[in-house]
């Protein structure tokens, strides 16, 4: 990792390795609990990613991904302000999921509440042994507001999410892989390394096709079947024109790895 893009006091550290940006939650004393400053830092990055970045790796500093919303910084708000706060999280979550950059999350320790809501925006999730998935809002007297009722429910099902919220149950990394909260489980201490390996592989794909995958798959899943198939055909038609498609075909015929520039 090279070139820190933020100072040590920032709630989000940003470093760069070639075409990969590493975003690291930087509140280890609070298990990377998410405050408004951290969400704003995410918004700023994903609204205008640095030129040349093709993939993002998202992790937490100090042994935890994120223990969720920083309740110590929450103040009593009237309902409309709470709704605005929630909708801002939704907007930032949308930038992460649909901003056009593949996001690989390296998960360890606490992945809870708002931390799980952010992790659910990632396109690839790597969990270390010892990771703890939990939605404790039911025990805090609040309802989820960062997108869990949509994104987490789509990963594991509404029934399972309701059970998590009602009971505060903790799921392990292995449970998370089985349920769909994680795609990979690796030994403790190897999550970031594996996430970077996957990010490098993804960065070698066609940026055009990566973009179509991010923009299309989740949306097609929400469509009626015939609408989804039509959208798939449009994406296929658009992907098979231009220099990336030409390079991919040429590389296949020449029996070499493609170089998408």
Question: pLDDT by residue (tens digit) across 120-166?
Answer: 999 999 999 999 999 998 888 889 999 999 999 999 999 999 999 99
Three-class SS state of 171 = strand
pLDDT, residue 230, reads: 97
* Pairing label, strands 132-134, 171-172: antiparallel
| Catalytic sites, residue numbers | 117, 137
Tell me the pLDDT of the chain averaged across its residues. 93
Using a pLDDT cut of 90, give the percent of the chain over it: 82
- 10-residue stretch averages of pLDDT, the chain, 261 residues long: 59 97 97 96 97 98 96 80 95 97 98 98 98 92 94 97 96 98 98 98 95 95 97 93 84 86 76
CA distance linking residue 29 with residue 63, whole number of Å? 10
Question: Which secondary structure element, helix H or strand E, spans residue 59, and what is its range?
Answer: strand 55-60
Q: Indicate the length of the chain as a whole number.
A: 261
Using a pLDDT cut of 70, give the percent of the chain over it: 97
Please tell me the CATH code under which domain 12-203 is placed: 3.90.226.10
pLDDT, residue 248, reads: 86
In this prediction the pTM is: 0.93
Q: Domain limits of the chain?
A: 12-203, 207-253
Nearest of 135, 128, 131, 129 to residue 155 by alpha carbon:
135
pLDDT, residue 87, reads: 97
């Amino acid at each position: 990792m090279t070139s820190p893009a933020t100072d040590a006091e920032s709630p989000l550290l940003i470093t760069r390795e070639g075409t990969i940006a590493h975003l690291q939650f930087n509140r280890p004393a609070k298990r990377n609990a998410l405050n408004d400053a951290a969400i704003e830092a995410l918004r700023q990055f994903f609204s205008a990613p640095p030129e040349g970045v093709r993939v993002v790796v998202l992790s937490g500093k100090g042994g935890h991904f994120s223990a969720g919303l920083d309740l110590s910084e929450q103040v009593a708000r009237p309902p409309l302000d709470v709704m605005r706060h929630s909708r801002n999280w939704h907007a930032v979550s949308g930038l992460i999921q649909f901003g056009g950059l593949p996001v690989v999350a390296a998960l360890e320790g606490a992945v809870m509440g708002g931390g799980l809501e952010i992790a659910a925006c990632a396109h690839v999730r790597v969990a270390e042994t010892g990771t703890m998935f939990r939605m404790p809002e039911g025990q805090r007297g609040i309802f989820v507001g960062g997108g869990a009722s949509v994104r987490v429910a789509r990963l594991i099902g509404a029934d399972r999410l309701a059970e998590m919220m009602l009971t505060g149950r903790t799921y392990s990394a292995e449970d998370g892989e089985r349920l769909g909260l994680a795609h990979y489980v690796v030994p403790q201490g190897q999550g970031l390394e594996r996430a970077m390996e996957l990010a490098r592989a993804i960065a070698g794909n066609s940026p055009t096709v990566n973009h179509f995958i991010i923009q299309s798959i989740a949306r097609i899943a929400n469509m009626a079947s015939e609408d989804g198939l039509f959208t798939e055909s449009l994406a296929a038609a658009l992907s098979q024109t231009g220099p990336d498609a030409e390079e991919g075909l040429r590389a296949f015929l020449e029996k070499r790895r493609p170089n998408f520039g």
